[in-house]
Amino acid sequence: MTSDAKSGESYKPVKSILISQPKPKGTRNSFFALEDKFDIKIDWRQFIHVEPVTEKEFRKNRLRPDDFSAVIFTSRQSIDHFFRMCEEMRVKMSAETKYFCISKAVANYLQKFIIYRKRKVFVGKKVIEDLTPAINKHKDNLKFLLPCSNLGATQIVEYLKELKIDFQDVMMYRTLMSDLSDLENVTYDILVFFSPLGIDSLYQNFPDFKQKDTRIAVFGNQTCDALNERGLVANIKAPSKETPSMTMALENYLKLANGK
């Protein structure tokens, strides 16, 4: 991947943006509105992708989902692959199973798979520590399962050990770097990243990438930190009080760069 921008003025006009995520389904999306408003081209490309752990692989762990009376969910992916594995193994979780969700967004997504009842769904605000009161209240009577990816969940695992609960973390899916080799000679004015893994994928595919005047937008402090570790500069950041979403952050920048 290359940059066609030469060193020069700030807020050079933007003609193209690459977003490191799959294109949303449907036509109602705030990113699409940016294309029309600023007469720019937005492309979508998945920099990382998820592959399921097969039932055969999972059985090597010598355990079943219904061996556990509680499940800790840290993402939508963990929910998808937990219930996928249940279906493939023909396992029906007990109606008494309790679910501990790291955030409200994760808990809301869980409603796709279970009948939501407060007595069996516990919700944190953002981090695993938020669930401490609920876990401590039930830890003596429950056996917890933590579905995760090949990348693991080291901080969460260490914290659960500190709580001295009966739990098992198990890989149910893999997060992998996508092949982006077809983008080698393609140029974009702005690259948009939502996770440190997206930046890792960029360098796995293009080890010699140089930012030059390519603008980079990042979502979240961890993504920004990962960018800085590579010696790159974040020109556009979200969320903030002024720009809680990436589309708002991009729009503010485009107003300055494209004069609209």
Tally the domains of the chain: 2
> For residue 58, is it within any domain?
yes
Q: Say yes or no: 28 and 64 in one domain.
A: no
CATH number, domain of 23, equals 3.40.50.10090
Is the pLDDT at 8 greater than 50? The verdict is no
Q: Say yes or no: 33 and 86 in one domain.
A: no
The residues, any chain, with a CB within 8 Å of residue 68's CB and separated by 6 or more, are: 97, 143, 144, 145, 168
Q: Say yes or no: 166 and 212 in one domain.
A: no
> For residue 4, is it within any domain?
no
% of the chain residues with pLDDT over 90: 85
> For residue 8, is it within any domain?
no
Is the pLDDT at 92 greater than 70? The verdict is yes
Q: Say yes or no: 78 and 155 in one domain.
A: yes
Q: Say yes or no: 32 and 98 in one domain.
A: no
> For residue 109, is it within any domain?
yes
At 21 the three-state DSSP class reads coil
Mean pLDDT score, 13-21: 96
Q: Say yes or no: 63 and 169 in one domain.
A: yes
Is the pLDDT at 4 greater than 50? The verdict is no
Higher pLDDT, residue 167 or 27? 167
Q: Give Cα 200 to chain centroid, integer Å.
A: 14
For the chain, give the longest Cα–Cα distance: 64
At 129 the three-state DSSP class reads helix
pLDDT digits (tens, 9 = 90+) for 48-86: 999 999 999 999 999 999 999 999 999 999 999 999 999
| CB-CB contact of 253 with 259 (8 Å) | no
Q: Say yes or no: 70 and 166 in one domain.
A: yes
Q: Say yes or no: 89 and 111 in one domain.
A: yes
pLDDT digits (tens, 9 = 90+) for 213-255: 899 999 999 999 999 999 999 999 999 989 999 999 999 999 9
| CB-CB contact of 15 with 3 (8 Å) | no
Residue 93 is part of which domain span? 51-176
How far is Cα 154 from Cα 160, in angstroms, rounded to an integer? 10
Single out the residue in 176, 209, 229 at which a domain terminates: 176
Q: How confident is the model at residue 3 (pLDDT cuts 50, 70, 90)?
A: very low
pLDDT digits (tens, 9 = 90+) for 220-231: 999 999 999 999
For the chain, how big is the Rg over CA atoms in Å? 21
Single out the residue in 150, 176, 202 at which a domain terminates: 176
> For residue 91, is it within any domain?
yes
pLDDT of residue 152: 79
Listed in sequence order, the DSSP H helices in the chain are 30-38, 55-59, 76-88, 104-110, 132-138, 154-163, 196-205, 221-229, 246-258
Query: Which helix (DSSP H) or strand (DSSP E) does residue 66 occupy?
Result: none
At 230 the three-state DSSP class reads coil
Peptide bond into 239 cis (omega under 30): yes
> For residue 120, is it within any domain?
yes
Q: Say yes or no: 150 and 249 in one domain.
A: no
